[in-house]
């Protein structure tokens, strides 16, 4: 169970990075909203990993620390490189002045904190 949560956490982080650079295909929600949802998945996985390790008396796996927790992103963020960006912006129905195009920072490796 812990191994599958670790794999899911790493996959979600890769997805967060992909959306940051390339956007996503969601026609109704901004890239920022999707990145925040992905961030919540990472937080959920990390909480469950910590809980299971504590219950089983195990050390947290290295990936727990090596996978950074992404920052919260402005919900108005839209990636510049998104293939469907223009169409999605029209569908979402907000003018370009209401979107944020500056990408959020890539989190530093959390191991650097120790």
User: How is the chain split into domains, by residue range?
Assistant: 2-103
Q: What value does the mean pLDDT take over residues 4-8?
A: 98
Q: What is the dihedral of CA 6, 4, 46, 27, to 10 degrees?
A: 100
23-80 confidence digits (pLDDT tens): 998 888 999 999 999 999 999 999 999 999 999 999 999 999 999 999 999 999 999 8
Question: What is this structure's pTM?
Answer: 0.86
Query: How far out from the chain centre does Cα 77 lie?
Result: 13
Query: How far out from the chain centre does Cα 6 lie?
Result: 15
Beta carbons within 10 angstroms of residue 68's beta carbon: 16
């Amino acid at each position: 169970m812990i191994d599958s949560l670790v794999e899911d956490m790493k996959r979600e982080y890769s997805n967060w990075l992909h959306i940051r650079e390339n956007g996503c295909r969601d026609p109704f929600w901004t890239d920022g909203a999707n990145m925040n949802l992905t961030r919540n998945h990472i937080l959920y996985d990390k909480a469950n990993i910590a809980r299971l390790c504590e219950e089983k008396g195990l050390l947290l796996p290295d990936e727990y620390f090596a996978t950074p927790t992404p920052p919260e992103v402005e919900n108005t963020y839209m990636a510049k490189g998104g293939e469907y960006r223009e169409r999605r912006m029209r569908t979402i129905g907000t003018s370009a002045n209401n979107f944020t195009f500056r990408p959020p920072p890539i989190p530093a490796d959390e191991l650097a904190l120790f």
